[in-house]
Amino acid sequence: MRGALSCAIAALSLVSPAAFAATPAYDFQASEPVKDKPTVALASDRAYVYLRSAAAIPIYLVREPEGADLAAYDRFRAAALAEAREKYAKKLAAYQAEVKQAKSAPVGTYGVVPPFKDVEPTAENFEATPFYMLSKVAIGPLNRFAKGSGGESAYLHALKPGTYRLYGAIAETGNAITGTCLCMGSVRFTARAGEVVDMGRVFMDGGPGISAGDVMKAALTFGLAGKPKGKSAIDAEGLALEPATAAMPVDPRLAALKVRAADFRPSGKLPNYYGLRIDRLPAIAGVMRYERDRIVDLTVAK
């Protein structure tokens, strides 16, 4: 990705802001829940993610950049930089006017303070929105594909084919984002066009003291409500994953479709983009384990 980005950086001085305005919009996300209907039909150019949980929960995926994403992100960053430079030009003019006014004021005039000069945005120092914040896929807690009387839930989500990382249990409510980021260790998997990739079962319960009805409340209050007593492998805000197996039931509506168990691999660490509580996914047999803060890949022996 760095190579592609460097090409855009080198070409910035040759491209005008008008050229960025003419660049077609690119949807980095392009995902939506599949509605709870009697029948399901898959689009050949879309991938699908299926997962189960004991209650309605929020799951956050991010897609890794590949192919057309790299060039599209270069265009996005270049356009954002051009916009930032236009704003800087206006701020610079205002700054120069304030400097002139300050210099013309008599020495010691009350209230005259030297103005602050903003840093000029350049290709080297400009920070655009990271790709992973553009390619996010928010699943749940609403728009369930199936739900049971006891709160059991299943989600089916259509998204772009590609490689995805499980980023955390994160809920978006208006302009607020709450939850837990699996920044210190998680898994990735591949979602192929025309297929349903089965992520298995997701757990957010913390054991004693956390019932299915308290899961969301505990997660969204950072464990302040319904904190379990005693030790547990998963705390009130934690997230655990049980990969799909042949014995794990699949919704009958998917029986005639191509459903494949997710090929989980360790995904390593990611930045905490939203400033949330930090956690890591518990070890998964045959996939990964931890040696202190080091992630050990168990899939290489398969």
pLDDT tens for each residue of the chain, 302 residues long: 444 433 433 333 333 333 333 344 667 888 999 999 999 999 999 999 999 988 888 899 999 998 888 888 998 999 999 999 999 999 999 888 888 877 777 766 666 677 788 889 999 999 888 999 989 999 988 899 998 877 788 999 999 999 999 999 888 877 788 888 999 999 999 999 999 999 999 877 543 334 444 444 433 433 333 334 333 333 445 678 889 999 899 999 999 999 999 999 999 899 999 999 888 888 888 998 888 888 999 998 65
Are 35 and 15 within one domain? no
**pTM score of the predicted model:** 0.76
Are 129 and 229 within one domain? no
Are 100 and 198 within one domain? no
HSE, side-chain direction, 13 A CA sphere, residue 268: 3
Query: Total domain count for the chain?
Result: 2
Cα–Cα distance, 62 to 65 (Å, whole number): 9
Q: Which residues pair with 189 in a beta bridge?
A: 164
HSE, side-chain direction, 13 A CA sphere, residue 262: 28
Are 38 and 4 within one domain? no
- Residue 90: its pLDDT value, please? 92
Q: Which residues of 134-160 are buried (b: 16+ CB within 10 A; e: fewer)?
A: bbbbbbbbebbbeeeeeebbbbbbbbb
Domain final position from 84, 107, 134: 134
HSE, side-chain direction, 13 A CA sphere, residue 170: 27
Domain final position from 88, 114, 134: 134
Are 211 and 142 within one domain? yes
Are 39 and 176 within one domain? yes
- Burial of residue 53 (CB within 10 Å: 0-12, 13-18, 19+) is buried
Are 198 and 275 within one domain? yes
Are 198 and 234 within one domain? yes
- Residue 241: its pLDDT value, please? 86
Are 57 and 71 within one domain? no
Are 145 and 294 within one domain? yes
Range of the domain at 98: 1-28+66-134
Are 100 and 120 within one domain? yes
Are 140 and 201 within one domain? yes
Domain final position from 79, 111, 134: 134
Cα–Cα distance, 276 to 223 (Å, whole number): 13
Q: State the CB neighbour count (10 A cutoff) for residue 186.
A: 26
- Residue 191: its pLDDT value, please? 96
